[in-house]
Amino acid sequence: MNYKITLIPGDGTGPEIAESTRRVLDATGVKIDWEIAEAGCDVLEKYGTPLPEDVLKSIRRNKVAIKGPITTPIGSGFRSVNVALRKELDLYTCLRPCKTYKGVKSKYENIDLVIVRENTEDLYAGVEFEAGSEESKKIIELSKNKIRIDSAISIKPISKFASERIVRFAFEYAIKHKRKKVTAITKANIMKFTDGLFFTVAREVAKKYSGIEYEERLIDNMCMQLVQKPELYDVLVLPNLYGDIISDLCAGLIGGLGIAPGANIGNDIALFEPVHGSAPKYKGMNKVNPTAMILSGVLMLEYLGEKAAAKKLERVVSEVISEKKVVTYDLGGTAKTSEMADEIIKKLGD
Ligand code: NAD
């Protein structure tokens, strides 16, 4: 049976890496019927929105999608398409494995961390009030004037429901992937109610998984720990904003954004995408590294249960990187995006 999968090329350098990823995934032998869905800045004029309803319909129908990055214009009327997709489809887990591959220039070796980031609430909830608005005035009143009168305000909701399901996901992932430890990370010493709730819930969930070690860290300390002794950590579970920042920090530990894959997972829908953005300055140059999106494809094959194909593709990608002959600029080579994909395809056939 062929899988029907939604492919969103995205914008900026997205279409270039998406095309390479599609060709590579086809070369694994897994039979996929691609349904192309256009979203992002490049289609704004055509559809009047960067996220046409048909894109959501396609993902809801097919249940599995892979996407290239999409630009978030700063200060425009549109919120992030990426955030909208995660919220609309309730893709509550953002899963980002961070692994060092031989041949990638990095100050670290043998990093093997998994970031489990809550994807639907926290400061990403989009509940913001402009400075001087009636709403912000009311909140300032409620705060008993602890907030300055000319403030803009963002609300940080953390719910028991969302915290519980993300921590449970982290433990279930740890069991399934034979991991030993889950570390929950917040700033609960300062945000006692919101981040405090996240820790309280995490502790309760942890009690049900006695085979997996559980510990807590504060986000500031965690940044230092990850830079100094990343080998102490295994699966990390975090609210949305801390998860976003730690993801980039960990991408830095493994040698850059060009090789960091990701997945957004809900109860019955999953959307795979690289951690990096649309790198617009390289648009149309066939220059950026397709690996992060190809490795997101590896996560997608695993999710589909195509374990042998996933394993083989990851091995081949790792081989191409370590040989350093046909790799993109960020990995020390001169190959084009499509040439690196061709090399992976050639080796898949060997
Ligand atoms: P970015 O990740 O697009 O790029 C930052 C820099 O990292 C690039 O200039 C480039 O030097 C390097 N880089 C990124 N991807 C690379 C690759 N595949 N190969 C080689 N080098 C690579 O970050 P940005 O410039 O902050 O964001 C650009 C746009 O993308 C913004 O609008 C942002 O909101 C958006 N964004 C989208 C997503 C997503 O679609 N999920 C994620 C992050 C950022």
Span 147-168, pLDDT tens digits: 999 999 999 999 999 999 999 9
- Specify the CATH class of 106-121+158-254 in words: alpha beta
In the numeric block, the tokens 């950590």 are attached to: 233
Does the beta carbon of 286 sit less than 6 angstroms from any atom of ligand 1?
A: no
Name the residue ranges covered by the structural domains of the chain. 1-95+259-350, 106-121+158-254, 122-156
Instruction: Determine the Cα–Cα distance for residues 34 and 29; give it in Å rounded to an integer.
Output: 14
Q: What are the Cα distances from residue 304, in Å, to 30, 63, 247?
A: 10, 11, 24
User: Which residues form the catalytic set?
Assistant: 124, 187, 220, 244
Question: pLDDT digit string (tens) for 292-338?
Answer: 999 999 999 999 999 999 999 999 999 999 999 999 999 999 999 99
Note whether 51 and 22 are within 8 A (CB).
Answer: no
CB neighbourhood size of 259 (10 A): 27
Question: pLDDT digit string (tens) for 65-89?
Answer: 999 999 987 766 667 899 899 989 9
Does the beta carbon of 289 sit less than 6 angstroms from any atom of ligand 1?
A: yes
Could you tell me how far CA 309 lies from the centroid of its own chain? 22
Structure tokens at 48: 């009047």
Q: Which CATH architecture describes the domain 1-95+259-350?
A: 3-Layer(aba) Sandwich (3.40)
pTM: 0.92
Does the beta carbon of 136 sit less than 6 angstroms from any atom of ligand 1?
A: no
Instruction: Determine the Cα–Cα distance for residues 67 and 50; give it in Å rounded to an integer.
Output: 14
Atom 16 (ligand 1) nearest CA: 258
CB neighbourhood size of 306 (10 A): 20
